[in-house]
Amino acid sequence: MSHHLDTPKRRVLSGLFGGRRGNRIGVANPTSIISIELMKKVGIFFPEAHLDPQKMAELAATGHEIVGFDSIMPEFSVQQEAEALGCLVDWGSPNMMPDAKTHPAKEAEDIVIPENILEKPSMKVVLKALEILRKNYGDHVAIIGKVMGPWTLSYHLAGVQEFLLWTLTDTSKVRQFLDRLKEVSILFANAQFQAGADVVVIADHATGDLVSPKTYQEFLLPVHQEMNQRIGGPTILHLCGNCSDRLRLFVEARFDAYHFEWQVDAKMAVKVVNHEMSLIGNIANKGVLFGGSPEDVYKQARYSIEAGVDILAPECAIPLQTPIENLRAIVEAAKEGYQ
């Protein structure tokens, strides 16, 4: 018998707030699930899909139409804001994601935030794509937006190694960067809600493998708290690496959900966050989604469901060679319900 929560959108929204359960768990993608195989199926390819709203929306929709996910998320790259902030971006190719080639800010004063930043083509395209998706799918599919947080934007503007070194040698500069750049994240997130997103992912790569929990706590925690106060809709934190040692900090930052990796054990995570924040994840890319069999994917998915994760998802943006059948195996595992 179909359950009243049994539409893709309801499943995702319910999971997002840790709410009532329908027949099965929702399957969503806070990060890109676009593969070369999916691009071929609809004849829309990178890099055009990063910069053309119609193509962006159509390619993103394959995640729902072809793979069967309960969400659609149109921002595939992490460089949309970077170009608007003055980085020279190489938009890549079908098998290569975009990359910022220049890092124009050595000092906080070098950061230039254009007044009309939302009108810049690389950012406007996301808003337009969300509008299209809202119109075509908004009545039944969860529409997910995404912005880069100030830590990631600092990497783009200053360079990863430079910025990480400053966390020891020039802490006031780090604070100035985060303080200025968070304004871009807040502005873009709120504009994405206006354009039609149900939820916005904040991707901020202070990853577990690069920096310590203390670094997160000292620099980013207060910034994320402020962002979550000033962003009007639900937020998902995407911050990769093994973050087993700092899950409580993300709860303190008041995100509605955290998108996490397989390295973080789902059972432990569920226990630690204690339903104060939802958990989205955490099927491994390496060796499983890419390089594993549908059976491998199925096993991980069932483990996560049994652990009590709120929404199933790949752990991060998938490798572009990931087979569609492996992505479908996540959905198949979900369809078996909670038992």
Partner 1 sequence: MLNEEVDLFYKALKDTNLLTIEHLTKQYIEKQLSPLVILNEGLIAAMERIGQEFKAQQIWVPEVLLAARNMHRAIEMLKPELIKTKTEPRGKFIIGTVKGDIHDIGKNLVVIMMTGAGYEVTDLGIDVPRERFLEAISQINPDLVGLSALLTTTMLEMENIIKGIREANPSRPKVIIGGAPVTQKFAEKIGADGYAEDAVRAVELANRLLRERS
Nearest to 37 by CA among 285, 291, 326: 326
Q: What is the DSSP string of 279-295?
A: EEEEE-TBTTTBTS-HH
Q: Judged by CB, which is closer to partner 1: 1, or 168?
A: 168
Q: Judged by CB, which is closer to partner 1: 95, or 229?
A: 95
Q: How far is the CB of 286 from partner 1 (least distance, A)?
A: 6
Residue keyed to tokens 């483990």: 303
Angle at 200 between CA 324 and CA 328, to 5 degrees: 15
Q: How far is the CB of 128 from partner 1 (least distance, A)?
A: 28
Q: Judged by CB, which is closer to partner 1: 161, or 339?
A: 161
Angle at 316 between CA 59 and CA 251, to 5 degrees: 120
Q: Which amino acid is at 99?
A: D
Cα–Cα distance, 203 to 299 (Å, whole number): 27
Q: How far is the CB of 162 from partner 1 (least distance, A)?
A: 9
Residue keyed to tokens 């994240």: 185
Q: How far is the CB of 329 from partner 1 (least distance, A)?
A: 18
Q: How far is the CB of 307 from partner 1 (least distance, A)?
A: 24
The alpha-carbon radius of gyration of the chain (Å, integer) is 19
The token duo for 323 is 């087979």
Q: How far is the CB of 219 from partner 1 (least distance, A)?
A: 11
- Is 140 buried (19+), middle (13-18) or exposed (0-12) by CB count in 10 A? exposed
Cα–Cα distance, 72 to 53 (Å, whole number): 14
Q: How far is the CB of 318 from partner 1 (least distance, A)?
A: 9
Q: How far is the CB of 209 from partner 1 (least distance, A)?
A: 8
Q: Judged by CB, which is closer to partner 1: 65, or 170?
A: 170
Q: Which residues bind partner 1 (CB under 8 A)?
A: 90, 95-97, 99, 160-161, 164-165, 167-169, 209-212, 215, 285-287, 290-291, 319-321
Cα–Cα distance, 63 to 49 (Å, whole number): 14
Q: Judged by CB, which is closer to partner 1: 225, or 244?
A: 244
Contact 16, 72 (CB under 8 A): no
Measuring CA to CA, how many Å separate 14 from each of 5, 67, 283, 337? 8, 21, 20, 15
